Structure 1
């Protein structure tokens, strides 16, 4: 008797792949959250002498090192929004895209 189509194919994703997708998804979300938090703190003129604000700024600078001064505007608020917002969007799109791709395997 011939085997039915798809015989031997397990449609459920593998647990390791699901875990990797979740980790990548979470890392992208955390990176974007730090960048978004820095934008909000900057626009709200948070106290730069505060330890928490300094920590968030340091993490955001580390995450956005590659995009620093892509946009040079006269308005400082717009410059910070674009220079830190672009990497946040890219991290979300790329991280979620990779996670979605892994979930389909």
Structure 2
């Protein structure tokens, strides 16, 4: 494989990793906004983001347990969003450096 082709492939892989992290963070942030904004929990959009965000929150889901459910989602899912942004940035750089 030529150096240019390898460089292009590595760049694409690094960008895909970064975009996946951004997508995960976006799903988590939308879930936070819908929860804090008191969106109708029976609405299909709200349910979709709640179901999708749940596994993405990993162990952050129950890291802090304030009384308010809205504050709980804001803090825990917000931290999970930051986690995905950091992890995807680090992995993206690692992919580029290992090339």
Residue 35 of structure 1 corresponds to 28
Consecutive unaligned residues of structure 1, counting only runs of 5 or more, are: 1-9
Residue 65 of structure 1 corresponds to 58
Runs of at least 4 residues off by over 3 Å: 10-13
Residue of 95, 100, 104 corresponding to 2:88 = 95
TM-score, normalised by the number of residues in structure 2:
0.86
**How many pairs are equivalent?**
96
Residue 14 of structure 1 corresponds to 7
SS in 2 for 1:68: helix
CA contact 2:60–2:77 (8 Å) conserved in 1: yes
SS in 1 for 2:67: coil
SS in 1 for 2:62: coil
In our comparison, the structure showing a higher alpha carbon Rg is 1
Which structure shows the bigger proportion of residues in helix conformation?
Answer: 2
1:6-34: per-residue Cα shift (whole Å, max 9, x none)?
Answer: xxxx6997111111101100000000000
Residue 49 of structure 2 corresponds to 56
TM-score, normalised by the number of residues in structure 1:
0.82
CA RMSD of aligned residues (A): 1.8
